Structure 1
Amino acid sequence: MHFAIDRGISSIIGPNGAGKTTLFNIFTGLYAADEGSVTFGDRSLLGLRPDQITALGICRTFQNIRLFANMTAIENVLVGMNSRISLRLWDVLARSPGFHRTESELAARAVRLLDRVGLQARANVVAHNLPYGDRRRLELARALASEPALLLLDEPTAGMTQGEASALMHLLRGLVADLGLAIILIEHNMRVVMEVSDRVTVLDHGEKIAEGPPREVQADARVIEAYLGKRGPGPRSRPRA
């Protein structure tokens, strides 16, 4: 399967078991590819550890929220900056001026990221006390803390109301416009997919069966048969199990 990534927002859809999350796991080094190649820019990702792939500029979120539940919002974001910190061990142990300067800069950046996702006022709230939608936003802020060029979001609107989902998609559009990010979504909310995506790829049993602009994919007979159902994608359609 050939899969190319451009700046903007791309979505991957398909029935349960189609291979969507497996694809993310291969991109990020959690799974090893059985064959073929995976490159980012001119760099092969095969054989790299997840932390090495993150350092190259690829970061992801998961279907199930994976925050540090007993840490505050700002502490969770600071953890996400780990791959971009270049302090020497001596600076850390001695609490040197360089350490304190870096610590201050990171804290200020974490506040800006929380502000970007609408959580600045909740910076010191412990993660498990945040409402569900805010935890989703915090997970996004933590991913942005690693300064990715490619952001992989696995069902980012799962469990959200339509209003919350629309607000999150507006936020993602702003990130693309302001930061030039490439974002790939795995998403089951078809209204979100059709409204926010520049490009949609459809998988079925590990094979790519369609790819293109949302409206074009929406009308593809193979997609209607394999994923959306005979009646096509109504505004609130959900995937079949």
Structure 2
Amino acid sequence: MAPRKMKAVEQPISARKGAGSRVPGRSRPLTRIQKEKQDIILEAALEVFSVHGFRGATIDQIAEVAGMSKPNLLYYFPKKEEIHRRLISTLLDTWLAPLREMNDGGDPFGEIRSYIRRKLEMARDFPRESRLFANEMLRGAEHVSDMIEIDLKNLVDDKAKVLLAWMDQGKLVRTDPYHLIFSIWATTQHYADFDVQVRAVLGPDRNGDNRFDDAARYLEQVFMHGLAPKPRADG
């Protein structure tokens, strides 16, 4: 599982989904240089929020990491909350991308295996983003509750129906599709959110990037075996 850039983050944060075309509270579109400044702020904020959390992070810290003055930063984002919400909303869109790719017309085991792999790739390539998202959930998702209750729920509802259809067709053992999705989230994101613990326990001989390949093989074995329909007894 060689490190690679995920499609959802190939563009600068402010270039995605029309974000960054304007400064909050201002109607005039941003210039190229202003967009670059906004990207620098968001990258610095990701670093600060992922380490200190929302409450522990300050505008001063973000400005220092971004290498700009506090007044300059406040021109683009007047409040810490605006920076945080922008990051979380972009991250949620990225986080949902692998689940969106689950194809109801594909082979169930191939689709689930690919989903596990994509989630592990995200844990490997975007540990700061994963920790930021986990911190937001632990804090009750107060800044993005609407995204969780609408965007996330609607997508999971749709994919739960796909999983149930495969179960009805006898392609997967019958189980709770929601808890199946939760289990995949928990096991894959663990490798980002508890990276220090994982590397410490594995030790120097096994804590390199190969740990994600080892994790992928193990999780595929667990989920594929657990979801395989049991042969019917004759008679």
Q: TM-score, normalised by structure 2?
A: 0.29
Greater percentage in helix: 2
Q: TM-score, normalised by structure 1?
A: 0.28
Larger RCO (alpha carbons 8 Å, 6+ apart): 1
Greater percentage in strand: 1
